[in-house]
Structure formats: C-alpha cells, structure tokens
Amino acid sequence: MRKQVLVVLVLAALVALAACSSMRVTATKVGHPSLAEQEMLIPCSECHQQVTPQVYTEWYDSTHGIGQVKCYQCHGTYENLRVTPDMAQSCGSCHTDKLGDHTGNQTCWECHDVHSFLSK
C-alpha cells in the first residue's frame, strides 16, 4: 500500500512539473536550473535542503543559519544571483568592522569555511 501511494505521489509530481514546463523562466545565471515564476518565490533553503544537503546543513548549523540570515542576503535573489558574494555589499552590510581585518585581496572564505564560517 505504501509503495502504491509513493508511486502515485511521484507520478503526480512529474505531471505537475510537466504542466509547469511551459511556464518556466530561463536561468539568469549559469549553473542554476530554470525556475517557474512561482518557484522563484520559494526560499532557496527549501530546495537546497534536498538538492545540496551538505551546504544546507553547514549553513543551518552556522551562526548565520541560527541567526536566520537568508541566502539572498549574501547571494542575491534569483534574478540577480551571485554565486560568490561581493564582500563589500554582502559581508560588509553586517560586518563592516571585520572588513578591515583581512589583508590585501583576501576574502572571508579564505579563512572561514564557506557556509559554516568556522575558522579553517
């Protein structure tokens, strides 16, 4: 019985995806799949929890995750997605005092793990 329910749910999801395919919007950044307009309104973490669970867990367990810093605050929204955040815009908006601590062109993630931000 459970297998039948699971099969029905999977088929329903596939039908829903097929129905949305005509409403899909082209990805604005290389590497991210295209999304329907409605999908763009869903918080990044909802999909990334399934698609990239290690990244999600690193962020979720970090000070930023605990503090509810959202993905878009560093990476932008889907329309202006930045895979690599701009330190002055993204980090500097909250950590102005720390920007002066790095030397030269060093980025935050050279000393801190990318999503957990623990020291390397």
Q: Rounded to two decimals, what is the model's pTM?
A: 0.63
Helix (H) or strand (E) holding 66, with range, is helix 63-66
- Residue percentage of the chain with pLDDT more than 70: 69
The 10s digit of each residue's pLDDT in 1-33 is 666 644 444 444 444 444 444 333 444 445 678
Q: Quick one: CA torsion of 4, 7, 9, 13, rounded to 10 degrees?
A: -170
b/e per residue, 23-39, with b = 16+ CB within 10 A? eeeeeeeeeeeebbeeb
Residue 103: pLDDT band with limits 50, 70, 90: low
- At residue 53 the predicted structure's pLDDT band, cuts being 50, 70 and 90, is very high
